[in-house]
């Protein structure tokens, strides 16, 4: 034990010698773990707000506030989970035991939310939804924080991290396919009412559990780093992390780009109110987007190896700007070709954004270890996931606030003509706001400085 830094001795790679090399099956098993939480997150981002306003009878602004409260609660849940997993010791390692508990809790939460009892009192409905959203937020933290921290432990190689994250992109792409293609198709098949949302939740639950268990068993022999103890307080550890400039820039980019998660709630409104399209068309849109996302990682991986991660990230972000702005021209009866072409471009861009952004996270974890000698993957994963929740909370709050400000009328399954102001707000969120988010990310990312050479030149202890 190094008394000065509070760390245990590691070998040259910082890994535990009891574990073998990272293999393709291990990477695939880890990647499939993204499916459960990403599926639930995409389903709630895209469908929950409309479920609450149009079928559960909660006003748009108030519904958005409830979702935002749950996201802000995650600020504390994520940090607690990061510290807990960093200090956990078990026969299955620091992270893997939480994969089982988290996947089961996630499955229960998706049923509890979308199969919400139809209480006659709005106060009871609000109270129930608050409790269930907090339950879902806790379940998500229990799984996702240890899961994401594993990426910083499983490989020490700069480009292999990108290869590992390719499998995460596959998992997220499949999750989107299930959540926002299969989900709307289920709603369409069962009549589109409150009962159809309950059926969707029941179908999604076992997928969460099954994929979590697959990751648990498939990563049993994956490399891990040796346990490190530290006398630093949580506040001191966070301050050391904040001093990591590449991480803070990456964190800022993630905060901005993931505002798109919150604004994703507008898709269901836009397709119904602006395009006059059914849940089935919305589902096909997300199918095309998911297929493009699944087909693109190898291309982005090649670009990254040739031109670097930062240039690849900037290219993927730039692809989304004209695509989002083109929604300004969309109208009722829009040709399907135009709709699905946007889905193709958006999916390809998202693939690059997720792949490169996620592969940079283990880079900054390694940079931190070289600077401080501390292994704090859980704290990094918690802060990284924390901004995901903050961004989603801010995004959905903006959507709800704009809909409320421009007069959107809630209901409980009754068709209502919306005022022109509400329709204008829906169009602006769908186009100008989303394009602006990508532009802001490009501006912030320009300041990122941590490539393969920089990382290699950062000697341990600097």
Question: What is the residue-level pLDDT of the chain in tens, covering all 462 positions?
Answer: 332 333 333 333 344 433 446 788 999 999 999 999 999 988 887 788 889 988 888 887 788 788 778 877 877 888 788 778 877 787 887 888 999 999 999 999 999 999 999 888 888 999 999 999 999 999 999 998 889 888 777 877 777 878 888 898 899 888 888 887 888 889 889 988 889 999 999 999 999 999 999 999 998 887 775 545 455 555 666 666 677 888 889 889 988 988 887 677 788 888 988 898 887 888 889 889 989 988 999 999 999 989 999 999 999 999 999 999 999 999 888 898 999 999 999 999 999 998 998 888 888 888 887 877 776 677 777 777 777 777 777 777 788 788 888 887 666 555 667 777 888 888 999 999 999 999 999 999 999 988 778 777 776 544
Kindly report the backbone phi and psi dihedral angles of residue 22, in degrees, each rounded to the nearest multiple of 5, phi listed first. -75, 125
Query: Has residue 286 been placed in a domain?
Result: yes
Instruction: Give the Cβ contact number of residue 16 at 10 Å.
Output: 15
Alpha helix stretches (DSSP H) within 178-274: 183-189, 194-218, 234-242, 245-257, 259-263, 266-273
**CA separation, residue 283 to residues 20, 182, 183, 186, 398 (Å):** 42, 7, 7, 10, 24
How far is C-alpha 296 from the chain's CA centre?
Answer: 18
Query: Has residue 309 been placed in a domain?
Result: yes
Q: What is the mean pLDDT of the chain?
A: 82
At residue 236, the pLDDT reads 61
Closest-CA residue to 95 (of 87, 105, 106): 87
Query: Contact at 8 Å (CB) between 133 and 343?
Result: no
At residue 259, the pLDDT reads 84
DSSP letter, residue 182: I
Question: At what angle are helices 279-295 and 336-372 packed, to 10 degrees?
Answer: 50
Query: Has residue 93 been placed in a domain?
Result: yes
Question: At what angle are helices 377-405 and 245-257 packed, to 10 degrees?
Answer: 30
Query: Has residue 226 been placed in a domain?
Result: no
Query: Has residue 431 been placed in a domain?
Result: yes
Query: Has residue 437 been placed in a domain?
Result: yes
Query: Has residue 368 been placed in a domain?
Result: yes
Query: Has residue 16 been placed in a domain?
Result: no
Closest-CA residue to 96 (of 7, 11, 223): 223
Structural domain count of the chain:
1
Q: Structural domain of residue 176, as residue ranges?
A: 29-218+233-457
DSSP letter, residue 332: T
pLDDT tens string 309-333: 999 999 999 999 999 999 999 988 8
Give the pair of three-digit tokens for residue 302.
């090649």
Say which CATH number the domain at 253 has: 1.20.1250.20
Query: Contact at 8 Å (CB) between 153 and 377?
Result: yes
Kindly report the backbone phi and psi dihedral angles of residue 109, in degrees, each rounded to the nearest multiple of 5, phi listed first. -70, -40
Give the pair of three-digit tokens for residue 347.
């999916």
- Percent of the chain beyond pLDDT 90? 34
Closest-CA residue to 110 (of 190, 36, 55): 36
């Amino acid at each position: 034990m190094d008394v000065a830094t509070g760390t245990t001795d590691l070998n040259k790679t910082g890994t535990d010698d009891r574990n073998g090399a990272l293999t393709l099956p291990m990477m695939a098993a880890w990647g499939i773990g993204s499916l459960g939480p990403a599926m639930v997150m995409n389903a709630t981002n895209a469908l929950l707000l409309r479920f609450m306003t149009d079928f559960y009878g909660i006003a748009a602004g108030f519904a958005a506030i409830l979702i935002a409260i749950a996201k802000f609660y995650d600020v504390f849940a994520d940090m607690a989970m990061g510290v807990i997993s960093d200090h956990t010791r078990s026969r299955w390692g620091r992270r893997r035991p939480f994969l089982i508990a988290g996947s089961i809790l996630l499955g229960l939460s998706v049923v509890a939310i979308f199969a919400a009892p139809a209480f006659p009192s709005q106060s009871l409905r609000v109270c129930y939804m608050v409790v269930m959203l907090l339950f879902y937020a806790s379940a998500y933290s229990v799984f996702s924080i240890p899961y994401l921290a594993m990426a910083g432990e499983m490989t020490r190689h700069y480009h292999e991290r990108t290869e590992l994250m390719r499998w995460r992109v596959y998992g997220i792409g499949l999750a989107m396919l299930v959540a926002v293609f299969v989900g709307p198709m289920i709603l369409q098949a069962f009549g589109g009412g409150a009962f159809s949302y309950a059926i969707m939740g029941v179908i999604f639950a076992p997928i969460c559990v099954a994929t979590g268990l697959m990751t648990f068993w498939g990563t049993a022999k994956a490399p891990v780093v040796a346990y490190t103890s530290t006398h630093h307080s949580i506040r001191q550890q966070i301050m050391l992390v904040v001093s990591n400039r590449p991480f803070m820039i990456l964190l800022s980019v993630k905060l901005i780009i993931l505002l798109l998660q919150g604004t994703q709630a507008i898709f269901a409104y836009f397709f119904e109110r602006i395009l006059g399209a059914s849940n089935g068309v919305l589902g096909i849109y997300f199918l095309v987007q998911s297929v493009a996302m699944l087909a693109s990682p190898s291309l982005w991986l090649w670009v990254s190896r040739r031109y670097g991660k930062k240039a690849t990230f900037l290219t993927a972000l730039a692809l989304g700007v004209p695509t989002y702005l083109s929604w300004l021209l969309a109208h009722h009866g829009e040709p399907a070709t135009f709709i699905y072409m946007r889905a193709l471009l958006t999916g390809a861009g998202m693939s690059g954004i997720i792949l490169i952004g996620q592969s940079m996270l283990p880079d900054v974890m390694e940079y931190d270890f070289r600077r401080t000698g501390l292994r704090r993957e859980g704290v990094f994963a918690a802060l990284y996931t924390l901004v995901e929740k903050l961004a989603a909370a801010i995004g959905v709050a903006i959507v709800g606030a704009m809909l409320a400000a421009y007069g959107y009328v809630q209901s409980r399954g009754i068709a209502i003509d919306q005022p022109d102001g509400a329709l204008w707000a829906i169009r602006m969120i769908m186009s100008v706001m989303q394009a602006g988010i990508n532009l802001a990310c490009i501006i912030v990312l320009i300041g990122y400085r941590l490539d393969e050479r920089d990382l290699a030149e950062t000697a341990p202890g600097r």
